[in-house]
Structure 1
Amino acid sequence: MTQPNEVARFWQWKWLFVMAWRDSRTHRRRLLLYVSSIILGTAALVAIRSLADSMELTVNLEAKSLLGADLSVSSGQPFPQPVRDRLDSLGGERSLQMSFSSMLVMPRTESSRLVQVRALEGGYPFYGILETNPSEAAQTFRKGPFALVDEGLMIQYALSVGDTVRLGASSFVIAGRLLKIPGETVAMSAIGPRVYIPMDRLEATQLIQPGSRVNYRAYFRFSPDRDVETLAVSLRSLRAQYFVNTETVEDRKRQVGRSLSNLYGFLNLGGFIALILGSVGVASAVNTYVRQKLATVAILRCLGADARQTFTIYLIQAVGMGLAGSLAGVATGIAVLYAVPAVLPDFVPFVIEVRFSWLPVLQGMGIGLLMAVLFSLLPLLPVRCISPLHALISAYEPEGRQPRDPWRILIFIVLAAWVIGFGVSQTRHPGQGLAFAGGLIGAFLLLNLVARGVIRLVRWVFPDSWGYLWRQGLANLFRPNNQTVTLIVALGLGAFLLTTLFLLQYSLLENLALAGSGDQPNMVIFDVQTDQKEPLQEIMAKNELKPIQQVPVVAMRIASLKGRTAEEIRSDTTGATPRWLVQREYRSTYREHLTDTETLIEGHFTGRASPAAGLPPVSIEEDVAYDLSVALGDTIGFDVQGIRIDTVVGSIRKVNWQRVQPNFFVVFPAGVLEEAPQFHVMVTRIDDPTTSARFQREVIRALPNVSMIDLQLIMSTVDAILDKVALVVRFMALFSVFTGVIVLIGVITNSRYQRVQESVLLKTLGGTRRQVMTIMVLEYVFLGSIAATTGVLLAMAATWGLAVFLFEIAFTPVVFPLIAIVLGVVAVTLTVGLWAGRGIHNRPPLAVLRSEV
């Protein structure tokens, strides 16, 4: 009995596939157009996952060149003698580097710039190369008063190889342009352009003064048989006692791997958004297709097909569409794969070599197919409810709501779980993934609700007083099968993403500008030694400048916290206190009052310590107090360059970090740190660029170790970083925008018959071609305007939330760019709509009126 059943089942399935193929015969081009909206989302996932495989392989192949050595040992203070003895015992080949910030003076252009100076001794990098132009400059700069200067800085200030620059009291000839450093990204040069000089020329610059913040690093190369990981473990005892950090090739691989994982996750989420948006387009298109097939379904039921069979026929078509779209997405993704590296060179510390592999292709194709099928199931479910009686009803249109279907609820649950699971899998912390999924689902729901609300509002307050053409163009938004809601969601999401990115970048820069407006300081002068305060004040007086603040700065570390020593906290891997907070160096100050950037939120600020009052009370910034888990009355012991000072938490402050002036985690009362080794920071305001340039030249000439940074430099640095990040974000946002355009093309093509019929009826009633075209243009203008306005308004709300709650800055709206975005979306909608609807008005009326639906 089993064999006949199997044969019958085979012939039954064969009939279902043949019937699905035959039924699609007259609509195959339309079905392929429906599914084309998932192509870009699938392509993005395939390209990004293939790129991740290529990068992972590159990291494994070039691991040593990412560090440039087998082992790196670093510290924020000079290596003490025990550390130097231990490093001497390691053997191998060694190279030393000292890095710090200082002002680079360019005499030819009479300008200066804060740079990251690196004094190098030895043959580092041992693996990989310092990429320079000319290439021999990587070696020749080590043999005299020469320097390698960051290429971006040389372009910005029109410097050439052979020009002279000055660091402190010494001059250097530019030996070459610095193009790339092993293990570092190009984006880092936007934060601090790098300048390399020989170590034996550092002392002559006179830049290293008491209080100077210098990073000391030793690089080692060992024989291939040396177990570097075991060696690094043996050096960990130096970390707790002498604040020494070690890094091996494996450590750098893990660090780069985490950074790349974050990058992959972000890009994958962007591609996934485009895929979901395209899947919504598929669901909308399949819904219209199925409604046009109701009569066919009813006839099949009359001929003996049951509900399961008719459902399966159209499910086979949906799976076929999804498979075709996924395959097209794979082909597009492979092409995109070779374009993505051009967007990311500033964010990865190596050259990306694209390699093809099958696993990412299969993963991307599987995700694309699954999303297309899941979203297609929603409009396919009502097919099971079509009865044979429907074949006898002319021009049947389903009315009223469909009965509640438990399968529909199950599919929604599966879709939500899939979105949440994908979001969590692409982020390091589950909370971030849940936030992404919630934000994405919320954005779709909001766009959908707003779209439906706007349509209902327009219907409710329909402008009867408008001219006929305007009223007809607006009424076309409610045409059957017009899918206005889907289009508003698709186009609105693209406008939402791009507008949010623009507004956030604008708000960040505007807040920086406001921080230096009015009478607020916009110039910070630091690394000022005590005996240099008077000469600096004379230069300021000469340029008619007034010091707004003069702040002493004392370097210290935490020695104990609430009775526990720093060593105990650092060795406790289960403790709640982050170890980096105990290991870091704190730059603190002392004064008798709060500044206008500080607000007292707990306790009492003590301006001057009294020996009779016991431990001196310090004021702690609120976030650091939270991370250290300290409250009023808790004790903190500080190691002030070898001297132990015990304190008690007397107050907790809120600090406005956006202002261009010194702010501190820890503020001591006067009467405690006056005799400690210290340097000073001064802030002033300079409104005239000419005065600013002259003042900087005079300060650097008289006090070469002093460094300066002004608001314009901060803004240009932040702007450069945001521009690099925005390029990647815009690249991913465009996938969503183009997906919306494809959905628009599909919708217009899908409703082509209704548009042809409407055009013919209008012509028959006396309408001219110009009037018919005007109605269509107005329809697309209304559609684009509603979508763009909805996306922009939601973007403003989202940016306000991000600005106020995440970045803690004021939200700064701007009018004209937002109007330009709205007009741009309208223009794209109109252009694509007219292109996709071309030829509609050329059909002869008689042929259309004779045709049957």
Structure 2
Amino acid sequence: MSIAWRLALRDLRGGLVGLRLLAVCLFLGVAAIAGVGSLSSAIVGELRSQGRVILGGDLSLSLSQRQATAAERAGIARLGRVAESASLRAMAARTDNAEAVLAELKAVDGAYPLYGRLTVVPGGRVARPGGGQVLVAPALAERLRVRVGDPVRLGDATLTVGGIIAEEPDRVGDGFVLGPAVLIGMADLARTGLIQPGSLYNWRYKIAMPAGSDATAAGVALNRAFPEAGWRVRDSSDGAPSTRRFIERIGQFLTLVGLTALLIAGIGVGNGVGAYLDGKRPGIATLKTLGASSGTIFRIYLIQVGLVAVASVALALVAGALVPSLVVALAGAALPVAPGFAIQWRPLALAAAYGLLVTFAFALAPLARARAVGAASLFRGGVERAGRPPWRVVLGVAAAIGTAAALAIGTAREPLFAGGFLGAAAVLLGLLALIGWGVRAGAARLPRSRRPLLRLAIANLHAPAAQTDRLVVALGLGLSLFATLAVIQTNLGGQIRSTVPDRAPSFFMLDIPSAEIDRFRSVVSGAAPGSTLSVVPSLRGPVVAVKGVRVTEMKNVPEGAWILRGDRGLTFAQDLPDGNRITEGKWWPRDYAGPPLVSMDAAAGKLLGLKVGDAITVSALGVEVPATIASFREIKWDSLGFNFVLIFSPETFAGAPFNYMATLDLAPEREAALNRAVVGAFPSVSLIRVKDVIEQVGTLLGQLATAVAAASAVAIAAGIAVLVGAITASRAARVYDAVLLKMLGARRVQILAVQAMEYAVLALLVSAVALAVGAGAGWYVVVKVFQLEWGPDWSVVLGTLAGGVVLILAIGLAGALPALAARPARALRDM
């Protein structure tokens, strides 16, 4: 090894020109994985480290549509200092009868906040809400066009803007919101008249426990002491679980995309090492004639490849470690929390392991070829077709790739998803490899064309030094990722632009008093004649037991069982709602008055392993209501109407106070008049514009698409690097061909035309494969995952692929220029 080390280092003094492709490809792939992993880990770590501030306490208890009883309140108070708050949606308006704006109202007591700081923008009158003074978010002040000191109307109360919120410490922990924040004092909440029997609101109790207390154990003890409370208990170890799960899943998906890009880059690694060793043939032959063994040759160049790989991985890890800081600087406002700089060792270590394993897997074959051939063969100048690698090389490659896959699956948050993704990528890689082999074999068997240029272009596809199969795999996978993204993006955009407006209501309306439903109908019809109003009764409450087992005591809750997290919308109905289809069981008769029955979403029931006849228990207004599952339904969620996971038989909640929800479809020009009329007559009613919801969802999807596009861009960049490497690897053969053609009278434009036809055939073939793969994968995501109708914008998809074709042609022709400039005498001497 000492001799191998000395010779390897001495050889590297001449520069790393031949190993630049290895360095570039490895840097791209590892940096992508390290960057995505570091960002995801940094955000999740920040969520956990600020758990107390984000949650608002060491422990949080949330009750739907009720306050804690005296006994419950006493049990909570024994744990530590308590801050009490109520949150609900409300309409905020100026006092001049201007159009009202939906806001997320939170009433807080004097102990708020227990952790963190509530701050206001300089110039405010007060530092906290209370005494008729409210704090509003900057977005609400802008939309209402109000400043500090201006009056605002909330429900029946007129309050004064005391300040603009600069920082609300527990905003992230409250989850997804539809409107900007308004903070008021708890005493002012009663003045608004917004809390009525049946109103939709959440009452929260945040607890600051003494140092050393176990918040998780305290939460378990509270559930045991009050098993029928129906509250949602969270502790500071996971202050924002929904946000954390979203970040982790997106991070996992993008890491897998990055790993796919690294596999593409691996082809470039193989090309780069192969081209480098081809350029070292004279040196290798000299060493062999001087007595160097094949093992020594193998170790020399393994050391060189290893040193370059380690250096490239190290630089990529530095770049990946800086990604969180760069994202915070460029788009910090779009993040749930802004993490500070900290090295995320685990994702960096995983990225390094992936990079080194891929390097070993793809560099092993060219290293083995250099080891196996004899000195006389290495001195030959002609281009030779490499033989099949020995079995031990194949096994080594398989072991390295298998280890990388096992590492990805073993460290994934959802191993089945990771395994499925990698399995699909492996199938696609195998398919592309088979297509590449088929193109090469088919080109060799085609009848000889009478057109010399076309005949030469086809011959280049199956020549000994041709990189056809590798290019099909690398470019095909990169373009397939981009095509899939284009299909999904245009399909979602089409749904939002066309399908949703055609069927969706204009407004959702919440908290309509049940005793005044007739007057509400009259106000709506007067403000918006000809509009379509659909009304359903509404309550809220959590699922507290399934098949007799309490949710708080379940040990293995399925990952996707969102129905068991937090409160659910509850309703009752005589008839099956539109957009629902019974898949199992039966709907109850219109005159049914027996024990409580419930119809459940089929997908949720399947996830929980439920069947018709099983029992499920919900808590409504603090009262537990058991019901028997009578049927399962398939729900058309994209209708944007009121779709309930649980619909109960009509008499289930007899005597319980409830309000109504409504959907309203009306002409856009009537929206402002309706807003003023409804808010003026019913201050407690909340109006949610569907357009605003769609814009928020569109923004979220746009951010997600940007992240996926960035990861896919790495795959495209790796594919371009592979293309450049393939051109470099076949340069000697192309120079030789160009020289012979020149000697036979070919003009430069004709030689360039041959190259253009070759790459045009290759680009069109790869684009066709990418179109088929992108359409299939996009259909699965849109129809099966998102459960939307199929309708992508093919012009955008084809435009994306056309850009890929142009790029491949441009790089291919640029790579052919050195061959055109070669001097025949010198080129023939070098051969």
Q: Which of the five TM-score ranges fits, normalised by the shorter chain?
A: 0.7 to 0.9
1:417 to 402, 417, 437: 402
SS at 2:413's partner residue? coil
d(CA) in 1 for partners of 2:563, 2:335: 28
Q: Describe how 1:821-836 pairs up with structure 2 within 5 A.
A: 821-833=800-812
CA distance in 1, matches of 2:96, 2:754: 64
**Which shifted more, 235-244 or 294-303?**
294-303
Matched residue SS, 1:596 = coil
In the alignment, residue 807 of structure 1 is paired with which amino acid?
F
**CA offset at residue 80 of structure 1?**
1.5
Return the match for 1:694 from 662, 669, 673.
Answer: 673
Amino acid at match of 1:800: W
SS in 2 for 1:213: coil
The 1-side partners of 2:45 and 2:650 are apart by: 57
> Which residue does the alignment assign to 1:118?
106
SS, match of residue 241 in structure 1: coil
Segment drifting more, 294-303 vs 800-809 = 294-303
Kept in 1: contact 2:483–2:774 (CA 8 A): yes
Deviations 1:553-584 (Å, cap 9, x if unpaired)?
A: 3456667765x3x65x6445479999986786
Amino acid in structure 2 at the alignment position of 1:592: Q
Provide the rounded CA distance (Å) in 2 between the counterparts of 1:490 and 1:589.
53
- Name the SS of the counterpart of 1:605 in structure 2: coil
**How many angstroms apart in 2 are the aligned matches of 1:768 and 1:107?**
82
Using a 3 Å threshold, how does the CA distance of structure 1 residues 375 and 842 change in structure 2: closer, same or farther? Answer: closer
Report the CA distance shift for 1:592/1:378 in structure 2 as closer, same or farther (over 3 A): same
Q: For residues 195 and 180 of structure 2, what CA distance do their matches in structure 1 show?
A: 19
Q: 2:326 aligns with which of 322, 339, 358?
A: 339
Alignment partners' CA distance in 2, 1:615 and 1:179: 52
Aligned to 1:375: 362
Distance 1:548 1:137 in 2: 43
Amino acid at match of 2:536: V
Q: Bigger shift: 741-750 or 275-284? A: 741-750
> Which residue identity does 2:517 align to in structure 1?
K
Query: Separation in 2 of the partners of 1:131 and 1:430?
Result: 42
Distance (Å, rounded) in 2 between the aligned partners of 1:87 and 1:540: 44
**Does structure 2 conserve the Cα–Cα contact (< 8 Å) formed by 1:523 and 1:660?**
no
Aligned pairs for 1:309-328 (under 5 A) are 309-328=296-315
Q: Does 1:432 align with 2:417?
A: yes
The residue type equivalent to 2:467 in the other structure is: Q
Please give the alpha-carbon distance, in whole angstroms, between the structure 2 residues aligned to 1:39 and 1:806. Answer: 33
Q: Does 1:194 align with 2:181?
A: yes
Contact 1:496-1:795 within 8 A present in 2 as well: yes
Which of 683, 687, 692 is residue 663 of structure 2 equivalent to? 683
**Partners of 1:16 and 1:312 within 8 A in 2:** yes
Amino acid in structure 2 at the alignment position of 1:822: L
Q: After superposition, give the CA deviation of every residue in 1:266-288 in whole Å (9 maximum; x if it has no partner).
A: 45434433322222211133334
Give the structure 2 partner of residue 9 of structure 1.
none
Task: Determine the C-alpha separation between the residues in 2 that align with 1:803 and 1:578.
Answer: 19
Q: Aligned in 2, Cα 1:433/1:392: closer, same or farther, shift over 3 Å?
A: closer
Question: Of the candidates 623, 632, 636, which is equivalent to residue 656 of structure 1?
Answer: 636
Please point out which of 211, 216, 221 is paired with 2:203.
Answer: 216
Q: Which amino acid aligns with 1:314?
A: Y
The Cα shift of 1:216 comes to: 1.0
From 569, 593, 599, the equivalent of 2:575 is 593
| 2:60–2:235 Cα contact (<8 Å) kept | yes
Asked if 2 retains the 8 angstrom alpha-carbon contact of 1:190 and 1:720, the reply is no
**C-alpha separation in 2, matches of 1:35 and 1:765:** 39
> 1:84-99 alignment to 2 at 5 Å?
84-90=73-79, 92=81, 94-99=82-87
Instruction: Decide which of 462, 471, 479 is 1:495's aligned counterpart.
Output: 479
Equivalent position of 2:507 in the other structure: 523
Query: Once structures 1 and 2 are overlaid, which stretch shifts more, 731-740 or 823-832?
Result: 823-832
Asked if 1:540 corresponds to 2:527, the answer is no
Counterpart Cα distance in 2 of 1:355 and 1:645? 49
Q: CA deviation at 1:357?
A: 7.6
**Residues 724 and 757 from structure 1, CA distance in 2 versus in 1: closer, same or farther, beyond 3 angstroms?**
same
Describe the SS at the equivalent of 2:637.
coil
Structure 1 gaps, min length 5 = 1-12
Q: How far apart are the structure 2 equivalents of 1:265 and 1:311?
A: 37
Aligned pairs for 1:725-804 within 5 A? 725-777=704-756, 779-804=758-783
2:70 aligned to 68, 81, 85, which one? Answer: 81
Deviation at 1:102, TM superposition (A): 2.8
1:493 Cα offset (Å): 2.8
- Which residue of 433, 448, 454 maps to 1:448? 433
Fraction of identical pairs, as percent = 25
Offset from partner CA, 1:282-336 (integer Å, 9 cap, x none):
1133334445666765665555444433333333333233234324434544554
- 1:462-611 to 2 correspondence within 5 Å? 464=449, 476-478=460-462, 480-511=464-495, 516=500, 518=502, 521-542=505-526, 543-547=528-532, 549-555=534-540, 564=548, 570-571=552-553, 573=555, 585-610=567-592
Matched, 1:275 2:253: no
8 Å Cα contact 1:463-1:471 kept in structure 2: yes
CA distance in 2: counterparts of 1:672 and 1:443, whole angstroms: 52
Distance 2:445 2:699 in 1: 48
What is the count of residue pairs matched by the alignment? 829
Amino acid in the other structure paired with 2:679: I
**2:18·2:276 contact (CA, 8 Å) conserved in 1?**
no
Q: Judge which range, 764-773 or 492-501, deviates more.
A: 764-773
Cα distance in 1 for partners of 2:510, 2:45 equals: 44
Q: 1:245 to 1:654 in 2, by over 3 A?
A: closer
TM-score (norm 1): 0.84
The structural deviation recorded for 1:25 is 7.1
Once structures 1 and 2 are overlaid, which stretch shifts more, 669-678 or 444-453? 669-678
Aligned pairs for 1:41-120 (under 5 A) are 41-47=29-35, 62-76=50-64, 77-90=66-79, 92=81, 94-105=82-93, 110-120=98-108
State the AA in 2 paired with 1:169: D
Deviation sequence 1:10-64 (CA, Å, 0-9, x none): xxx3443444456667784112333321012223344456557766775676454
Matched residue type, 1:597: G
Query: 2 CA distance for matches of 1:472 and 1:95?
Result: 80
What is the Cα deviation at residue 412 of structure 1? 3.6
Task: Confirm or deny: 8 A CA contact 2:33 2:258 kept in the other structure.
Answer: yes
> Is contact 2:53-2:170 (8 Å) kept?
yes
Most deviating of 238-247 and 642-651? 642-651
Q: In structure 2, do the counterparts of structure 1 residues 720 and 777 end up closer, same or farther at CA, with 3 Å as the change threshold?
A: same
Q: Is the 8 A contact 2:54 2:173 kept in 1?
A: no
State how far apart, in whole Å, the 1-side matches of 2:332 and 2:132 are. 33
- Give RMSD over aligned pairs: 4.1
Residue 99 of structure 1: how far off its partner (Å):
0.8
Which amino acid in the other structure matches residue 78 of structure 1? Answer: Q
Q: Using the alignment, how far apart are the partners of 1:798 and 1:157 within structure 2?
A: 44
Equivalent pair of 1:588/1:664 in contact (CA under 8 Å)? yes
CA distance 1:155–1:272, change in 2 (3 Å) = farther
Distance 1:458 1:634, change over 3 A: same
Kindly provide the amino acid, as one letter, of the partner of residue 115 in structure 1: A
Partner-residue secondary structure (3-state), 1:658: helix
Structure 1 position 82, deviation (Å): 1.2
User: How big is the shift at 1:424?
Assistant: 1.6
Shift in Å, 1:805: 2.6
Partner amino acid, structure 2, of 1:540 = V
Q: Residue 631 of structure 1 aligns with which residue?
A: 611
Contact between 2:85 and 2:109, CA under 8 Å: does it hold in 1? yes
Rounded Cα–Cα distance in structure 2 between residues aligned with 1:371 and 1:575: 37
Post-superposition Cα deviations, 1:812-842, rounded to whole Å, max 9, x if no partner, equal 2211111221132234334545556665544
Give me the whole-angstrom Cα distance separating, in 1, the residues matched to 2:242 and 2:782.
29
Q: Is the 8 A contact 1:51 1:354 kept in 2?
A: no
Partner residue in 2 for 1:621: 601
Q: State the Cα distance separating 1:177 from its structure 2 match.
A: 4.3
Change (3 A) 1:320 1:117: same
TM-superposed deviation, 1:797: 1.0
Measure, in 1, the Cα distance between the counterparts of 2:125 and 2:738: 72
Question: Could you say which residue in structure 1 is the equivalent of 2:796?
Answer: 817
